[in-house]
Amino acid sequence: MDLELLTKQTIEIVKQASAFIQQEAKLFSRDKIEYKDLNNLVSYVDKEAEKLLVTGLSKILPEASYITEEGTTGQEPDPEALNWIIDPLDGTTNFIHGIPVYCVSVGLARGKELLVGVIHEPSLDEIFYGWKGGGAWCNGRQIHVSKVHSLQESLIATGFPYYKFEKQKRYMYILELLMQKTHGIRRMGAAAVDLAYVAAGRFDGFYEYNLNSWDMAAGVLLIKEAGGTVTDFNGGDNYLFGGDIIAGAGGHAELVATIKDNF
């Protein structure tokens, strides 16, 4: 499998989905919002973008299956198989409210082994991409995680839970600790964007729980290829399908310790 060629082909398909999303952004009305469950929003834009992605990706790698946020393929996913892992519009709530922080995220994995990652943030026209053993890139320039080595010097990104509020108090306590120990905390509202920014050295770390594989797959590949470290909240490797993630550069161990001891 030529991963570099596959990545280039994936980029073109992702850009087509992004172009559709930007076209619809000009026309979108909030009366087109649907609710999957509490605070979990979706629109026809998410679903149609996912269909565009699946159609294009099926042509370049027909043997692969799909793990997708909106489930438009009708497949029962097998996490151990060769899978495209797709979030057609990460940051849907931002998109719906006209906030220009959202992206298309596509990863390719064989089981837990990540092979390809592509994230396109259409509002800035930044395409982050990489493949196993090929490095991480943004708009043709190779990217690396930051050289910051301590939590005290770090700018950290996170996301706020919109369900499973039983863990909210512990989560907010960690937020309070990190506000005192770092340069600051940012909450963008799109986990894939946060992960891409860690890979590019803009953020020095990221953590969040209650995530899905489609939020993480592409971004994790990018961070690893950019020289970063990724774990779950316990410092292990059960993040892709485990629901929680800590990603970062030199201050990663301190970030893991802070979260592990208090969550």
Q: What value does the mean pLDDT of the chain take? A: 91
pLDDT exceeds cutoff 80 at 58: yes
User: What confidence category does residue 135 fall into, taking pLDDT thresholds of 50, 70 and 90?
Assistant: very high
For residues 205 and 249, is the Cβ–Cβ distance under 8 A? yes
Q: What is the DSSP letter of 153?
A: G
- Rounded to the nearest 10 degrees, the angle between the axes of helix 191-199 and helix 213-225 is 0
- Rounded to the nearest 10 degrees, the angle between the axes of helix 44-60 and helix 3-25 is 160
- What are the start and end residues of each CATH 3.40.190.80 domain in the chain? 151-262
For residues 243 and 211, is the Cβ–Cβ distance under 8 A? yes
Give the torsion through C-alpha atoms of 5, 111, 252, 117, to 10 deg. 20
Token pair of 236, please? 């292990």
Return the beta strands (E) in 91-131 as ranges.
103-110, 113-121, 126-131
| Strand duo 184-186 + 155-158: pairing | parallel
How far is Cα 86 from Cα 105, in angstroms, rounded to an integer? 6
Residue range 151-262 forms a domain whose CATH class is alpha beta
66 three-state secondary structure: strand
CA angle 148, 154, 160 (to 5 degrees): 140
Give phi and psi for 117, each to the nearest 5.
-145, 130
- What are the start and end residues of each CATH 3.30.540.10 domain in the chain? 3-143
For residues 155 and 200, is the Cβ–Cβ distance under 8 A? no
pLDDT exceeds cutoff 70 at 42: no
Amino acid identity of 215? D
pTM: 0.94
How far is Cα 101 from Cα 92, in angstroms, rounded to an integer? 9
What is the share, in percent, of the chain residues with pLDDT greater than 90? Answer: 76
Return the beta strands (E) in the chain as ranges.
34-37, 40-42, 65-68, 82-90, 103-110, 113-121, 126-131, 136-138, 141-143, 155-158, 184-186, 205-208, 229-231, 245-248
pLDDT of residue 209: 92
What digits encode the pLDDT tens for the residues 6-41? 999 999 999 999 999 999 888 765 666 665 554 455
User: What confidence category does residue 167 fall into, taking pLDDT thresholds of 50, 70 and 90?
Assistant: confident
CATH label, 3-143, candidates 3.40.1280.10, 3.20.20.70, 3.40.91.50, 3.30.540.10: 3.30.540.10
What digits encode the pLDDT tens for the residues 186-243? 999 999 999 999 999 999 999 999 999 999 999 999 999 999 999 999 999 999 999 9
Amino acid identity of 140? G
How far is Cα 118 from Cα 221, in angstroms, rounded to an integer? 9
